[in-house]
Amino acid sequence: MLNTLGLGAFETTSFQNYDFVIIFSGEMSTNSEIMTNIAVKYTQMSVHKEIKKVTTHVLIEMKQRGEKISMLTAYDYSLATIVDDAGIDVILVGDSASNVMAGHETTLPITLDQMIYHASSVVRGVNRALVVVDLPFGSYQGNSKVALDSAIRIMKESGAHAIKMEGGAEILESVKRILTAGVPVMGHLGLTPQSIYKFGTYTVRATEDAEAEKLIADSKLLEEAGCFAIVLEKIPADLARRVAENLTIPVIGIGAGNGVDGQVLVLHDMLGITKQFNPRFLRRYLNLYDSIHGAVRQYIGDVKSVDFPNEKEQY
């Protein structure tokens, strides 16, 4: 409940117990006119009460004051609404949609058009979180002009706030060109699933010195180019901590330990909708597969036994 005070032009009082103070002046002939004015202003203020939106700048401030950043994926309007309402800082429209939404084995098949469809659905459900969208495989590796065109399509057609790209030195020219156009870029190093056929497995990355050194160098290149954050996927916790300490931009980990500046998980994994995927880093907060399965079984039974609909559930 908000406390509102209406104040005439020359009155003075203590404001500290009020959320809003409305100062009005000019000629007002009756008390009821004044009260109507206050009511109108109050309604307008309530409607426009500002939600502090998460921006790339807010994320950097969070790192500076040591506040961890929470990030989850979402691919559709309904779940994005819940995740945003719960207060998540960043929503990633990940190309993991290729796996969890479309049932593909890898992230490679999802197209730019499909990512834009998912991203625009998410954006319509979000009031506060920063919405970051993956550039899908094949939409940026060609050259920096192709990369820029893809990034611009995502920003224009979905209304998202930033894009994410996998890779370091190899994609630096594209990262810089996209940043020059004013599009914020989040990097992604370590296990980069778009390169799964190069790696051959989804095992932990950068356990050898050479790969660890390249990862540290790449993270510095991305920061210097102007990326606002970097995701580190499935690398040793000590290495991830070193990278986070070495950079001023936030480092968000998935399977990278707790020495980084924030964490990201795939929503369908942490809600227990997916069952087969069980990496060590995954904490499941619900077992929605079984809950949904049970509800559907019950519904089928109710339909078959003509228990549903009952008299109160019909017209």
Size of interface with ligand KIV, in residues (CB under 6 A):
11
> Does 269 engage in binding with ligand KIV (CB under 6 A)?
no
Closer of 134 and 223 to ligand KIV (Cβ):
134
Q: How many CB atoms lie within 10 A of CB 17?
A: 8
Task: Give me the count of residues in the chain.
Answer: 315
Alpha helix stretches (DSSP H) within the chain:
31-47, 56-64, 77-85, 97-100, 112-125, 144-158, 172-180, 196-199, 209-225, 237-246, 267-270, 288-304
> Does 219 engage in binding with ligand KIV (CB under 6 A)?
no
C-beta of 237: minimal distance to ligand KIV in Å?
17
Using the 8-state DSSP alphabet, how is residue 226 labeled? T
Using the 8-state DSSP alphabet, how is residue 195 labeled? G
Closer of 148 and 254 to ligand KIV (Cβ):
254
Sole window of 21-29, 53-61, 94-102, 304-312 interacting with ligand KIV (rule: CB under 6 A): 94-102
Which residue, judged by CB position, is nearest to ligand KIV in the bound state? 94
Our CA angle for 176, 206, 200, nearest 5°, is 90
Which amino acid is present at 255? G
State the DSSP string of 144-188: HHHHHHHHHHHHHHH--SEEEEE-SGGGHHHHHHHHHTT--EEEE
Closer of 277 and 299 to ligand KIV (Cβ):
277
Our CA angle for 119, 125, 130, nearest 5°, is 65
Binds ligand KIV by CB under 6 A, chosen from 95, 218, 223, 269: 95
Binds ligand KIV by CB under 6 A, chosen from 56, 70, 73, 121: 73
List CB contacts of 144: < 8 A, sequence separation 6 or more. Answer: 173, 174, 176, 177, 178
Which residue among the candidates 33, 208, 211, 233 is catalytic per the annotation? 233
> Does 263 engage in binding with ligand KIV (CB under 6 A)?
no
Q: Is 189 helix (H, G, I), strand (E, B) or coil?
A: strand
313 classed as catalytic: no
> Does 260 engage in binding with ligand KIV (CB under 6 A)?
no
Neighbour-count burial for 143-175, b at 16+ CB within 10 Å, e otherwise: ebeebbebbebbbeebebbbbbbbbbeebbebb
> Does 56 engage in binding with ligand KIV (CB under 6 A)?
no
**What's the Cα-to-Cα distance from 190 to each of 4, 133, 138, 198, 223, rounded to whole Å?**
52, 18, 19, 13, 15
> Does 230 engage in binding with ligand KIV (CB under 6 A)?
no
Binds ligand KIV by CB under 6 A, chosen from 254, 256, 270, 273: 254
Closer of 24 and 277 to ligand KIV (Cβ):
277
> Does 194 engage in binding with ligand KIV (CB under 6 A)?
no
> Does 266 engage in binding with ligand KIV (CB under 6 A)?
yes
**Alpha carbon 166 to chain centroid distance?**
17
Query: What character string, x for contact with ligand KIV (CB under 6 A) and - otherwise, covers 134-173?
Result: x---------------------------------------
> Does 96 engage in binding with ligand KIV (CB under 6 A)?
yes
Closer of 112 and 231 to ligand KIV (Cβ):
231
Sole window of 23-31, 91-99, 145-153, 214-222 interacting with ligand KIV (rule: CB under 6 A): 91-99
Q: Give the footprint of ligand KIV on this chain (CB under 6 A).
A: 73, 92, 94-96, 134, 231, 233, 254, 264, 266
Q: Active-site residues: which are they?
A: 233
